[in-house]
A and B are shown apart, each in its own frame.
Chain A
Amino acid sequence: MRNILGKVAFFTAFTALMIFILSPIVWILLMSFKDYADVIAYPPKFLFTPTLDNYRDVLVGAGSDTAGEAAQFRQYLLNSVIVSGGAVLLSLIVGVPAAFALSRQRIRGSDHLAFTFLSFRFAPELAIIIPLYAFFQQVKLYDSYIGLILAHQLITIPLVVWIVRTFLADVPLEIEEAAQLDGCGSWRVLWLIVAPVIKPGIASAAILAFIFSWNNLLMGLVLSGVSTRPVTVGIMEAIGFDQIRWGWMAAAAMIAAVPGMIIAVYLQRYIVSGLKAGIVK
C-alpha cells in the first residue's frame, strides 16, 4: 500500500515537473507553426493547420520587402557564430596553457590567480562593459568582431580556466615527469601528452563557454552595432514595444535556440561533466 502511494506521488511530481519544464518550449514551438489568425485566436488554439511561413519570413523573407530583413537576420546568426566561436577559441588558446601552468607549477599566489579568474564570473558585466564602450569607440573596436570577442572573454575565460583546471588535477603526474626526463619541454608535454588525456574536459569547457557566450544579451546590446549584432539582440530589436509579431518572434526564438538544442541532444554529457568539474569539485 505504501509502495503504491509512493509510486503515485512520484508520478504526480514527475509529471508536474515535466509540464513545467516543457510547456513553454512546446507552446512557442507550436506558435512558430501558426499563421497570424491562429496566433491571436482566443481561446488559444492547440490544434491548427501548421505553416512554415514564420520560418520562411525569418530566414528567407517573402517578396522584396521582407527579404532584406531576413538577410539581416541570417547575418545576425552568422555574427553570433563568429563572436561566440571566436571567443571560445581565444579562451582555449589563452586559458588551457594558463590552467596547465597554474596546476603544475607551485607559483606563489597561483590559487589566487585562479580565483581571480573565477571572480570575473561573479562581477556585474557592466563594470567592464561601460569602460570598454568608451575605449572601443576611441580605438575603433566598437561594432567589431575583435572587440566583441575580447569582451566575451569575461564570460568564457573563467569557465575555461576553472573547468580545465579541475580536469588537470586528475591527470597523473608520472607520465608528464617521464616525458620531461626524455627532454620534452612543457609546451610539448601539454600538447602531446596532457591535452589528449583531458580532451573531454576541454570539450566540456568549450561547450559551456559557447552556450553562455551565445546566450548573452548585454554585451551585444552595448558593444555591437549594425554590422556585428548577435542574434539575441536581433530578436530583441525586432519585437516592437507595442506590437509584437508573435509568429515571427516564435520562429526566430526557436532558431536562436538551435545550437542549445543540438548540444542538448548530442553533447549533453559534456555539459553535465563540465558543470560538475567546474563547480562541484
Chain B
Amino acid sequence: MLIARQVDSPRHSTSHRRQKRSFVFMLLPALLLIVGIMFFFLQGIARSFTNEKSYIRNPTFVGFDNYVALFSDSTFLVGLGATMLYVLLVLMLQIPLALSIALLLDKTSFMRRIGRNLIVLPLLIPPIVAGLMWKTMMQPSAGVLNFILSSIGLPGGSWLTDPATSLLSVVLIDTWAFTSFSTLIILAGLQSLPKSLREAATVDGAGWWQTFRHISLPLLMPYVVLVALFRVADSLKQFDLIWPVTRGGPLNSTRLLHVQGYEEAFRFSSPAMAMAIIFVLWIIIYLASFLLLRLWRRTVNAVD
C-alpha cells in the first residue's frame, strides 16, 4: 500500500484534479435542473406582486396589493382555516393509527407478513382512483357505506355532500390512501430497534405497555416525527385527492389552499393571485417543515 502510494504520487495530483472535474460534469445536469426550477419558482413569486390576469395586456407591479386583498378575502381565510383543520385532523387520526398498525404487524408471523404485504396496496393506487372509489361508496342515497350502516341499525351520513362532514370525509379518504406510507416508515423504525433492549425490559417484569411507553416509544420518536413531517407537508398541499372528489365544495368546506390556487389560476384566469396564494402556502409548509425538522433532530439526539 505504501509502495503503491509512493509510485503513484507524481501522478496523484493530476488524476485527482481530473476526478474532480468529472464530478463537476456529473453534477452539471442536476445543477441546471435546480437552477431551472428555482428560476421558475422565483419568477412565479415575482408575478404575485403584479396585477397579471389573462385579460390584462400589460400587467404592472402592484406591490403587496394581492396579499392585502387575500387576507381580507373571506374565501381565502375560510380556505386557510380548512387547510389547517385538515392537517390537524390528518395528524390526530393518522399518527396514532399508523403507530397502532405498525405495532400490530411487527414481529414475524404468517398473518402479519400477509398484512405487511397488503397494506402497501393503497400506496400504489392513484389518489384520484382512491378518491372516486370512496366517493362511490359514500353516496348518501345509494352508496354501500350508508347501506351497511343502516343494516346494522346506525343512521347513515351525508358524507361528502354536507359542508359539516365533507372535510372529515376527505380526511377519511386521505387516511385510507396514505396511512400505509406512515405505517411502513414506523415499521422500519420498529424493526431497527435493538431487540435485546426490549427483551431485557420484559425479563425485568415490565408489562407490555410500560415497555412500549418507556423504551420503544422514545426510540421510535424520530420515525414518528419524520412521518409527521411528511404528512404535514403533503396534507398542506393536498390537491389530487380533493379535486376529483369535491372540487372544493360543498360551500368551500374543502377548498384547501392548493385547490384555491388552482382555481384562481385556471378558472378565474388570475395567475398573480394564484401565485400569492401558493406563496403563502409555501411559507406555511416551509415553516412547518423547519419546526418539525428541528424537533426531529432533538428526538434523534435524545435517542443517542
A-side residues, CB < 8 A to B, are 10, 13-14, 17-18, 20-22, 24-25, 27-28, 31, 40, 42-44, 93-95, 97-98, 100-102, 104-105, 107, 113, 116-117, 120-128, 130-135, 153-154, 157, 161, 180-181, 183, 185-187, 190, 211, 214-218, 221-222, 232, 235-236, 239, 244, 246, 249-250, 253, 256-257, 259-261, 263-264, 268, 271-272, 275-276, 279-280
Tell me the minimal C-beta distance from A128 to chain B in angstroms. 5
**B282-297 contact mask (Cβ, 8 Å, vs A): 1 or 0:** 1001100100000000
CA distance A42 to B33 in the complex (A): 54
Closest to B21 in A: A186
CA distance A279 to B160 in the complex (A): 33
Given A125-B258, A186-B22, A260-B126, output 12 extra A-B contacts at Cβ < 8 Å.
A14-B115, A44-B144, A94-B33, A104-B23, A126-B239, A126-B258, A127-B41, A127-B275, A180-B19, A216-B240, A239-B132, A259-B124
A217 near B127: Cβ-Cβ < 8 Å:
yes
A280 near B226: Cβ-Cβ < 8 Å:
yes
Q: How many interface residues does B have (CB within 8 Å)? A: 86
Q: Give the chain A neighbours of B230 by CB distance below 8 A.
A: 279
Known A-B contacts A44-B147, A98-B27; A128 and B129 likewise in contact (beta carbons under 8 Å)? no
The 8 Å CB contact of B121, one of A25, A128, A161, is A25
A94 near B23: Cβ-Cβ < 8 Å:
no
Q: Give the chain B neighbours of A125 by CB distance below 8 A.
A: 237, 239, 258
Residue B203 lies at the interface, judged by CB distance under 8 Å to chain A: no
B residues 171-190 in Cβ contact with A at 8 Å: 176, 180-181, 184-185, 188-189
The 8 Å CB contact of A126, one of B133, B223, B265, B285, is B265
CA distance A93 to B25 in the complex (A): 12
The 8 Å CB contact of B20, one of A20, A105, A117, is A105
Q: Give the chain A neighbours of B18 by CB distance below 8 A.
A: 185
Known A-B contacts A44-B144, A104-B23, A180-B19; A157 and B33 likewise in contact (beta carbons under 8 Å)? yes
Q: Please choose the segment from B63-71, B86-94, B134-142 that sits at the chain A interface, where 4 or more of its residues have CB less than 8 A away.
A: B134-142
| Majority DSSP secondary structure for residues of B touching A | helix
Residue B130 lies at the interface, judged by CB distance under 8 Å to chain A: yes
B41 near A153: Cβ-Cβ < 8 Å:
no
Tell me the minimal C-beta distance from B291 to chain A in angstroms. 13
Tell me the minimal C-beta distance from A10 to chain B in angstroms. 7
CA distance A18 to B261 in the complex (A): 37
Closest to A275 in B: B184
CA distance A133 to B265 in the complex (A): 10
Residue B37 lies at the interface, judged by CB distance under 8 Å to chain A: yes
Tell me the minimal C-beta distance from A190 to chain B in angstroms. 8
CA distance A162 to B266 in the complex (A): 33
Tell me the minimal C-beta distance from A157 to chain B in angstroms. 6
Q: Give the chain B neighbours of A10 by CB distance below 8 A.
A: 104
Q: Give the chain B neighbours of A154 by CB distance below 8 A.
A: 37
Q: Give the chain B neighbours of A24 by CB distance below 8 A.
A: 130, 133-134, 137, 176
B144 near A102: Cβ-Cβ < 8 Å:
no
B23 near A105: Cβ-Cβ < 8 Å:
yes
Q: Give the chain B neighbours of A100 by CB distance below 8 A.
A: 26
Q: Give the chain B neighbours of A280 by CB distance below 8 A.
A: 185, 188-189, 192, 223, 226
